[in-house]
Structure 1
Amino acid sequence: MAEGRDVQWVEVTEGQVGQRVDNFLMTRIKGVPRALIYRIVRKGEVRVNKKRVKADHRLALGDMVRIPPLKLTPREAVREVSDNLRNLLAGSVLVEGRDWLVINKPAGLAVHGGSGVKIGLIEALRQVREDLDFLELVHRLDRDTSGCLLLAKSRPALLALNESLKQHRMDKQYLALVAGRWPARRDFVAARLERYELGNGERRVRVDPAGKVARTRFVVRETFEKATLVAAEPVTGRTHQIRVHAAHAGHPLLGDDKYGSREGERLAASLGLSRLFLHAAALTFPEPTSGRPVQIRAPLPEELETVLTRARRAP
């Protein structure tokens, strides 16, 4: 097979050892959607040491990866990072270690592109941080949630941090404003959760006895006339867990367009709240190399602080 002039052969370096082929390509080729990556791998246009591989193939030191020339239509192309987003992300790094970093994720930015989202946080960061050969999410936050988001800058760090997550050695604390007065005696919500799809393909979560075990700890931080500020600590890590558990307890999060209530909508409007009031305020995890505990906090965004000020003044 003759190679075109734009075909690249890239050697795998130490920092890329163990990385999946699809993630390797996402880092190397800017502006390419994941669906296209899967397609060119499936068609055999991507080769490792001249052999066909699957998207989940793990790379070894010295492997030679063939990257074909790609011409993207405007519909396929991942949007380039705007100057505003570039500056926002550059100023959102809370702490950066040798092989990890924690971002104060802005609300409204999805962590991944796809499903109509042209660019997500991880794709944008890979464009902004061209100095990094490896950058992967350790965990996720909902699009409308702000706060601490942990990323790994090397394969060994990702594996170590994922293991810490599985062994429950990573603690996350969120701040949420919920409708009504949360009873101080109710400190845990344990309700099984099941994912399902609406008719339009949108994914939701509901309480269901046949679902997966889920448990969240809630602590009252401040009580207002018609709302409560709570700290929420998910013991398990299910999709939309805090939001669904709070709604199940009869106190949905304010600004929640999926699991909120009419009363909550009116209250949010009266407080000038235009987003989900859910913020990943603190993150604690073992440093992947030394094992020492790392504790990081993300300050509450000014827009949410303003909402609390209004709640305190409400009659």
Structure 2
Amino acid sequence: MVKTQATPVPNAVRFVEIDADSAGQRLDNYLLRELKGVPKTRIYRGLRKGEFRINKGRVKAEYRLVAGDVLRVPPLHQPEPGAPVVVPGYWAGEIQSRIVFEDAGLLVINKPSGLAVHGGSGLNFGLIECLRQLRPQDRYLELVHRLDRDTSGLILVARKPAVLRELHRQLRGDGVDKRYVALVAGRWPRERRMVEAPLQKNVVQSGERMVRVAKEGKASVTGFQVLEQFHRATLVEARPYTGRTHQIRVHARFAGHPILGDDKYMDDACAELARSLGVGRLFLHARSLTFTLPGAGQLRLEAPLDKDLETILENARK
């Protein structure tokens, strides 16, 4: 547990003693988790300016905390617990323009990269909080499934409990066909159409969530198909037959072809290739969904690549 005041006092410097449970974490990750409601940009600005200090000294964002460290926290404004989330106007407008499908029971959004699907883990809001603020008349809005924060593309949001239950039933079986597009490092062999490797969640010392291939993990299967080959990269379609955390990303790395822009799982050589192609984000996009919607029959929905991803492909072709 963190030794600090239960209710932070605005406009007052606080000193927090780091306990053993928090030791080993990066300072920035710790602050993002503990200072809920404080904008990420404000935290990193404070780190650059030396407003956050350890044992009275300036430290960098990547500093690893040690039990017994005394952390200086500058005066910060944090919303009261239970206060309504205020979503920035930029995200509200962006989401409104990305509604792909809507009926009485379902919303389908082409989620932008950089927006989490829900708040938590240091994030004050996500897609679902944005939607609830945008659509106060909707008494029921629940995520049907999830996408990683940096993954763009189609995501389902139920407007009725019965629709949520039915789509969950389809997701547990093979009733939902999901197809992703990814740009991976190297030349993916056309004959490699399937990656089957068990996956296990593994929380590393810093608190960052990672996934690895392990015998004791859960069975995981991803289909891959080559769409276009470039000199040092390949555009592939990925179809996850199981729904594990980071499944496509880890299976691509396991096959020897990490997804470009994947800060968690690519190596230095892939990072250099990504920079040379202008990849500034995870190149993974949920392009299509096929499922059966009660009252509407079978639907197949598609979301085209964002302009920044199309520009990267143009760079690769050159």
Q: TM-score, normalised by structure 1?
A: 0.75
What's the CA shift for 1:78? 5.6
Q: Aligned AA for 2:250? A: V
Equivalences for residues 155-234 of structure 1 within 5 A = 155-234=161-240
Q: Does 1:266 align with 2:272?
A: yes
CA distance in 2, matches of 1:78, 1:256: 33
CA distance in 1, matches of 2:102, 2:245: 27
Pairs aligned (count): 242
What's the CA shift for 1:288? 2.6
Q: Which runs of 5+ in 2 are unaligned?
A: 1-35, 37-76
Q: Where does residue 126 of structure 1 map in the other structure?
A: 132
RMSD (Å) for aligned C-alpha atoms: 1.4
Deviations 1:135-193 (A, max 9, x none): 00000000000000011000011001110111210010000000000000100000000
Identity of aligned residues (%): 51
CA distance in 1, matches of 2:298, 2:199: 31
Q: Does 1:309 align with 2:314?
A: yes
SS of the equivalent of 2:120 reads coil
Question: Alpha carbons of 1:248 and 1:117: their partners in 2 closer, same or farther (altered >3 Å)?
Answer: same
Equivalences for residues 88-127 of structure 1 within 5 A = 88-127=94-133
Equivalences for residues 239-278 of structure 1 within 5 A = 239-278=245-284
Task: Check whether the contact 1:207–1:244 (CA below 8 A) recurs between aligned residues.
Answer: yes
**294, 297, 301: which one aligns with 2:302:** 297
**Deviating 4+ runs (over 3 angstroms):** 75-79
Deviations 1:52-71 (A, max 9, x none): xxxxxxxxxxxxxxxxxxxx
Q: Where does residue 39 of structure 1 map in the other structure?
A: none
Task: Check whether the contact 2:107–2:156 (CA below 8 A) recurs between aligned residues.
Answer: yes
CA distance in 2, matches of 1:142, 1:259: 14
What's the CA shift for 1:84? 1.4
Q: Aligned AA for 1:218? A: F
